[in-house]
Structure 1
Amino acid sequence: MANFLQLPLSKCHYSDHSTGTYCDGHPPFHVKSRPRGTALIIEWFCPRGHKLWSWNSQPKLKYGMQGGDFMLSTNILLSGNNFSKIALLFRFMNIRMVTSKTFYSVQGTYCLKSIQQFWEEKRNAIIKKLQSKDRVVALADGRMDSPGHSAMCCTYTTMDLDTMDIISVVNVDKRWVGYKSGVMEKAAFIQTFDSLTKEVNIKEIVTDAHVQIAALMHPERGRYKDQAITHSLDVWHAAKNLTKKLHAVGMISGQKLILGWIKDIVNHFWYACQHTSTREEFMDVWKGVLHHVTGEHEWGFGRCFHAPLAENPDKELIPHGSAAHVALSRIVLNQRWLKDIEKLLTFRTTAELESFQNHILMYAGKRFAFSFGVYEARTLLAALDYNHHNHRPVHVNIKGQVSHKRVYNKKSQRYSVHTVKETKDYGYIPELQTRILEKRLSSAGGLPKRRSIQADDPRALGPLSGISPPPTAELVQTQQRRGQVVIITKSPLHFCGRKLHKCNFCFLQDLCDT
């Protein structure tokens, strides 16, 4: 198509200033097209090879950077995508793509700091509103960046209970805690708590039953014993732990009857935590489940609080004194499990925070590896996304009814329903894009040829493994694979019988005739 474009020129306008000669080239002019990144460049040349005109499908930024390439690199990060996947998509569609070097340079030079600054501004606005409150209840939980015990980073997130807004996101690298991933959550909690207590009036904090955090919040020996802050435990995690214990004992032969009562026992646990305020009250209600499963609803000085039941129960009763009943009693009356029961009676749950932890997977999946700075930026993007869309209204259909969506749970084998909210608008993204673009336009140079490691980058402390890697050539020589037999001898090469090989004077009798 470019060959049919006619330039409004009657001749070549090239001139040599040193000799004073002019080119006398006339149309038709030659047209050449070449790709550059995601752009197409079309150039017109006269018959003598002088370039007359050049057209680029994208606008150019300062220092020659193409606007489309810059925004593509920026939005891959802002949308939570990965360069390798987008590059593969473009390859399958036969579309030119920016190089990985360009993408990582744009990401590290212009995006990461802009995202951090943008998050701090949004966070400060939330903190300013909370400073007027006399009492703030915070939900806190940690998340590792990869499954198993090989985590590199821990993200510790704090949410305000009333507004359900994320008020703190702290990331800790394993290299900052002596290469011990088991203490990253403790270090992240200390960093979070020390910072938040100076900004807002926290009177209660809700976490899961993490042993190290419980030690920090111990009212007599803990690090924060003098701050008079209530430490509550998440009821949802406790109920989940109870479900696992019941399911485990229910799978044992002779105790199968417990499986049919798991849902009722867990619901009773929720009820006991919600309607009691002391350990004694809780135990009076909680122990009643041992009578209820046997069909006994009044005993001694206690009774069940439910309405009258049908004469023919839909579940098989657990006989008193049976193996199933004894196993259930051990769980219900387990002192180790009940030692922190007072922390559950505030009836707090971090379910909304767990929802945000799951939302982080959109930006930082656990099957992908990121450098610390990129991982931190992606968690902040998840927090910006969550806070911006947290309070959006519910969706109303054309009939004026609130929309709902049903979801099937394979584990519980039943359907549940939840309210559908309006589609996300990502209204904060244009402002963030503008910040990043302005940083590029105000820069004093182009993309750096080499990306230097900053002083606060944990990579400056050494490799993640803590061991300096040997040269690749050395690994190639020393590494042995399964099924590969390596024979090392010091004998010289010589020809014997069938082939030229190393032998130790006939130690390979089947090949050597010497």
Structure 2
Amino acid sequence: MELFANCPSCAQPTYGEIKQLKGSFISITQDCRFCFYQRTWSSQPLIGSIPAGNFEISCALLFSGSLPSKSVRMFKFLNMASISYRTFMYHQQCYLHPAVTEVWRDQQASYVQEARASGRQLHLGGDGRADTPGHCAKFGSYTLMDLAENVVVDLQLIQSNEVGGSCLMEKEGLIRGVRYLEENGLPISQIVTDRHLQVAKWMRENLPDTTHSIDVWHVAKGFKKKLLALSKEKDCEHLREWIKSLVNHLYWVPSSAPDDEDSELRWEKWTSITNQVQNIHEGHGQHFQRCEHGDLDPAARRKRWLRPGTKVMEKLEAIVNSRQMKKDIPMLSSSFQTSSVEAFHSVINQFAPKMYKFSYFGMQSRLALAALHFNENSSKDQAATREGNLQYSIVFPKHKKGDYTVKKVKTQSTYEYVDVLTNAAKTRASNMKMPQCGDPRVAPPPLCDQYVLPEKDDAVGQLLTRFRRN
């Protein structure tokens, strides 16, 4: 306020008065009683009727994937002028959600136009994600990703009461995503998914001209669990040292030949593992006669061969020749996998953590933000030192139980999409006042809508009566 102690016109002593204090915005008026000079000073410009600083705080909170309640509390602890939680929710509802939807739809339209012009067949990866770790999820999202370009093509959000239960959300998400691509005239050559039975049946009945493949990692994960369980049984301890080789063989089977390989040849390649662990490398079948590896050096062997007729061999053969494997092995994808889709799901966790609940449009916006971030950074280069040496890091994943993995260190992420989102939100705020902003979209009814809501006074009265009785 000392800056307003003198009149800028006649330099006589005067005073300034705070006219308005609104979040990070302050407006001060100054009146001079000597020369009658008047002015109003504002700490920041206005976007429409909203202080620019307040609006940009709301943009930064949402576009960075932050949680507004925690962020506003942090500002309060710092004694820093900021907006309230309610103000953020108003900005989000009126301007930010529509801006995110607009930018995401524009990016989708650009992809559709490019794919349609190229005339190429799409190879898609699809997978669902629930908003809670358990089986009682409220929201389910389904991702369709172009595996050749490594970009998210479509995102569908389903609320469980739309389809009658959380177990039906994944199939419905795939149906909506495929419908969107078909409406835009994009041919689908292949879809790689996990082993979801509802998805497999729907694709078999409704997409006969599209190849349905299964991601190898999902099959290998279940196969490894069975091997670990078997290795803990009595007289089966020697199997533990073979687990890594058995899983690697599962990855080799589809990678050694194209997707259209004869199913009998692929099955014989797979079942040959039961001979190889017994030191038998010939006569695996009619189509696969001999192992493709060279002669083995007995001096370099560290694993003990399994013996025929033993308990461990009988149970291993039962796992390898199981009914589930007979279905999955011919469908394993040799060209594309869904590891990029799983990586995108980890990005979603940064914008929409599973331990917090969001509204329908809040979840929709955060999914789109994750897609915008992933698409911009999915093709990052590997980082290098000043001398030009490529950088690597060694990590110890929990699932490897002490074993390590070497990863490439990527360059820093970019956030150019945030500028596009902020400009779109500012444009909406400049052209539309807050009381006029009505969202034309309709969200599904809440899950509690199916229950009878009691009168609050009656419910409180029953609670107090129960306490008196006790």
TM-score under structure 1 normalisation?
Answer: 0.81
Describe the shift of the 1:452–1:30 C-alpha distance in structure 2 as closer, same or farther (beyond 3 A). Answer: closer
Which residue type is aligned with residue 378 of structure 2? N
1:107, CA displacement in angstroms? 0.5
Q: Which residue of 2 aligns with 1:97?
A: 82
Tell me if structure 1 keeps the 8 A contact 2:215–2:333.
no
Q: Which residue of 1 aligns with 2:129?
A: 143
1:29 lines up with 2:10 in the alignment: no
Distance in 2 (alpha carbons) for counterparts of 1:453 and 1:335:
51
1:253 lines up with 2:234 in the alignment: yes
Please give the secondary structure, in 2, of the residue aligned with 1:380.
helix
Q: Which residue of 1 aligns with 2:380?
A: 392
Structure 1 segments, 4+ long, off by >6 Å, are none
Q: Which residue of 1 aligns with 2:428?
A: 439
Describe the shift of the 1:470–1:145 C-alpha distance in structure 2 as closer, same or farther (beyond 3 A). Answer: same
Identify the range of structure 1 (275-284 vs 180-189) with the bigger mean alpha-carbon deviation: 275-284
Match 1:153 to one of 136, 139, 143: 139
Which residue type is aligned with residue 126 of structure 1? Y
CA offset digits 1:65-116 (Å, max 9, x no partner): 2110011111211111110121122122121221111101100101111111
Match 2:469 to one of 488, 492, 495: 488
Which residue type is aligned with residue 232 of structure 2? M
1:275 lines up with 2:264 in the alignment: no
Gaps of 5+ in 1: 12-25, 490-514
Which residue type is aligned with residue 435 of structure 1? A
Q: Which residue of 1 aligns with 2:93?
A: 108
Distance in 2 (alpha carbons) for counterparts of 1:196 and 1:34:
51
Q: Which residue of 1 aligns with 2:274?
A: 290
> Matches of residues 53-68 of structure 1 in structure 2 within 5 Å?
53-63=39-49, 65-68=50-53
Describe the shift of the 1:464–1:263 C-alpha distance in structure 2 as closer, same or farther (beyond 3 A). Answer: farther
Please give the secondary structure, in 2, of the residue aligned with 1:200.
coil
Match 1:117 to one of 72, 94, 102: 102
Tell me if structure 2 keeps the 8 A contact 1:32–1:44.
no
Tell me if structure 2 keeps the 8 A contact 1:234–1:347.
no
Distance in 1 (alpha carbons) for counterparts of 2:94 and 2:468:
51
Q: Which residue of 2 aligns with 1:334?
A: 322
Q: Which residue of 1 aligns with 2:355?
A: 367
Which residue type is aligned with residue 124 of structure 2? A
Q: Which residue of 2 aligns with 1:233?
A: 214
CA offset digits 1:139-180 (Å, max 9, x no partner): 1111112211121221111111211111111111223223x1
- Give the structure with the larger helix fraction: 2
1:462, CA displacement in angstroms? 4.2
Tell me if structure 2 keeps the 8 A contact 1:105–1:447.
no
Please give the secondary structure, in 2, of the residue aligned with 1:217.
helix
Tell me if structure 2 keeps the 8 A contact 1:278–1:345.
no
Which residue type is aligned with residue 271 of structure 1? W
Q: Which residue of 2 aligns with 1:223?
A: 206
CA offset digits 1:326-383 (Å, max 9, x no partner): 2211110102332243211545311111111111111111111111111111111111
1:189, CA displacement in angstroms? 0.9
Tell me if structure 2 keeps the 8 A contact 1:169–1:380.
yes
Describe the shift of the 1:36–1:242 C-alpha distance in structure 2 as closer, same or farther (beyond 3 A). Answer: same
Distance in 2 (alpha carbons) for counterparts of 1:254 and 1:466:
55
Tell me if structure 1 keeps the 8 A contact 2:391–2:408.
yes
Match 2:454 to one of 470, 476, 485: 470
1:33, CA displacement in angstroms? 8.6
Identify the range of structure 1 (105-114 vs 1-10) with the bigger mean alpha-carbon deviation: 1-10
Describe the shift of the 1:61–1:487 C-alpha distance in structure 2 as closer, same or farther (beyond 3 A). Answer: closer
> Matches of residues 73-88 of structure 1 in structure 2 within 5 Å?
73-88=58-73
Tell me if structure 1 keeps the 8 A contact 2:268–2:284.
no
- Specify the structure having the higher radius of gyration (Cα): 1
Distance in 2 (alpha carbons) for counterparts of 1:208 and 1:354:
11
Describe the shift of the 1:95–1:447 C-alpha distance in structure 2 as closer, same or farther (beyond 3 A). Answer: farther
Identity of matched residues, %:
26
1:57, CA displacement in angstroms? 2.0
Distance in 2 (alpha carbons) for counterparts of 1:452 and 1:128:
30
Describe the shift of the 1:336–1:417 C-alpha distance in structure 2 as closer, same or farther (beyond 3 A). Answer: closer
Tell me if structure 2 keeps the 8 A contact 1:235–1:347.
no
1:477, CA displacement in angstroms? 4.6
Q: Which residue of 1 aligns with 2:173?
A: 188
Distance in 1 (alpha carbons) for counterparts of 2:237 and 2:457:
59
Tell me if structure 1 keeps the 8 A contact 2:5–2:13.
no
TM-score under structure 2 normalisation?
Answer: 0.89
CA offset digits 1:198-242 (Å, max 9, x no partner): 331111111111111111112xxx1333xx111111112111121
Q: Which residue of 1 aligns with 2:417?
A: 428
Describe the shift of the 1:487–1:92 C-alpha distance in structure 2 as closer, same or farther (beyond 3 A). Answer: closer
Aligned residue pairs total: 459
Distance in 1 (alpha carbons) for counterparts of 2:140 and 2:37:
56
Please give the secondary structure, in 1, of the residue aligned with 2:65.
coil
1:280, CA displacement in angstroms? 1.6
Gaps of 5+ in 2: none
1:127 lines up with 2:112 in the alignment: yes
Distance in 2 (alpha carbons) for counterparts of 1:368 and 1:446:
27
Distance in 2 (alpha carbons) for counterparts of 1:318 and 1:243:
18
Please give the secondary structure, in 1, of the residue aligned with 2:140.
strand
Q: Which residue of 2 aligns with 1:14?
A: none
Please give the secondary structure, in 1, of the residue aligned with 2:123.
strand
Tell me if structure 1 keeps the 8 A contact 2:6–2:13.
no
Please give the secondary structure, in 2, of the residue aligned with 1:394.
coil
Q: Which residue of 1 aligns with 2:7?
A: 7
Please give the secondary structure, in 2, of the residue aligned with 1:163.
coil
Distance in 1 (alpha carbons) for counterparts of 2:37 and 2:310:
95
Which residue type is aligned with residue 148 of structure 1? G
Which residue type is aligned with residue 306 of structure 1? H
Q: Which has the higher contact order (CA 8 A, sep 6+)?
A: 2
Which residue type is aligned with residue 428 of structure 1? Y
1:256, CA displacement in angstroms? 2.6
Which residue type is aligned with residue 275 of structure 1? S
Which residue type is aligned with residue 293 of structure 1? V
Q: Which residue of 2 aligns with 1:202?
A: 188
1:473, CA displacement in angstroms? 4.5
